[in-house]
A = this chain, B = another copy of it.
């Protein structure tokens, strides 16, 4: 790579912060050149400026259209609301920029496909920011599954519980408008668990969903009541192509659960259990253990032998949620550097979106929906 990667970040809210932190730290831990925090862009100029001030972005911009055509930008990072992902990504690709895009990748699988094709055609690196693939415990789970430690998988049961909407006085924001967000808890939270399902188990063949909106109206900042048009919770059952049975539940109404993404994977040779609120741990049951001393092992995933942990601290010195972004950005920059593909890419975003779309439609029509084979 002739020069350091110049990053143009679009979207200066929560995800913009997490990505900024990632860009700042990545070069100290990955063998990649430290990227340049070149320009942060937000339609809300003051938000862009605040983020620039906090993290040292060199420039600000309020028009993503201007940003994506600049010659001095190498990588476009899309952290905006879901509605704008597709147009930004396509424009970025057409201008030869590498792209990382937050999840859910788009408002529909059709949009996602457009993004994928544009990126492929442009020959740029493209990544969907499924950062939980880069939790060390999840990568360890993947490795164990690939090695056959769990055997044939029978069950993949995922929940994603949060509680920040259970307060009826929480105001109406864009996330409550289906036209802006596409969905509520579903796209935001099931996107993660569906991606982990595909990563760990394989493709999903069919789904059947139910959704509900428990608080029908919320007060807008300007004081009137507005109708909530997205789901507060969406459940779905799934059948995987390989025969596994799946279950997914996303809700923002689970009092006391803050960011509780739990996976329970049961196979013919063993089991795995993971919880994002204790992301440095992985529970593992092996039927190969002696019958009278079998039990779920609580693996503290902080050994240098564990994925990414050689970069960090000694055993038992835990890492945080933000490290998943450092790992993700590190792998992306390495891919940009060496010209190779990197997962999860836009194809993964697209495939995930197909499942999300099918579940959404199922929840509206009360019937099983098949996922396209590819």
Contact = CB atoms under 8 A, between A and B. Distances in A.
Interface of A: 14, 18, 20-21, 24-25, 28, 54-56, 140, 144, 149, 154-155, 157, 159, 161-164, 166, 168, 208-210, 212, 214, 232-233, 235-237, 239, 243, 245, 247, 249, 251, 253-260, 264, 266-271, 276-280, 282-287, 289, 291-300, 302-303, 305-306, 312-323, 366-368
A285 to B, nearest CB: 3
Given A235-B245, A245-B212, A293-B284, A257 B316 contact: yes
A289 to B, nearest CB: 7
10 contacts: A155-B233, A255-B267, A255-B287, A258-B314, A258-B316, A276-B316, A277-B316, A282-B295, A297-B297, A313-B322
A251 B320 contact: no
Contacts of A21: 25, 28
A205 to B, nearest CB: 12
B166 A268 contact: yes
A341 B208 CA distance: 41
A204 to B, nearest CB: 13
A296 B235 contact: no
A83 to B, nearest CB: 22
A259 B316 contact: yes
Return the 6 tightest CB-CB contacts between A and B, nearest first.
A259-B316, A258-B316, A256-B285, A320-B320, A295-B297, A295-B299
A154 B270 contact: no
A282 B302 CA distance: 21
Given A296-B297, A296-B298, 15 more contacts: A14-B314, A24-B25, A28-B55, A154-B212, A208-B237, A212-B245, A235-B247, A245-B251, A258-B314, A258-B315, A278-B278, A283-B295, A294-B297, A312-B322, A318-B318
A279 B209 CA distance: 31
A155 B254 contact: yes
A249 B246 CA distance: 10
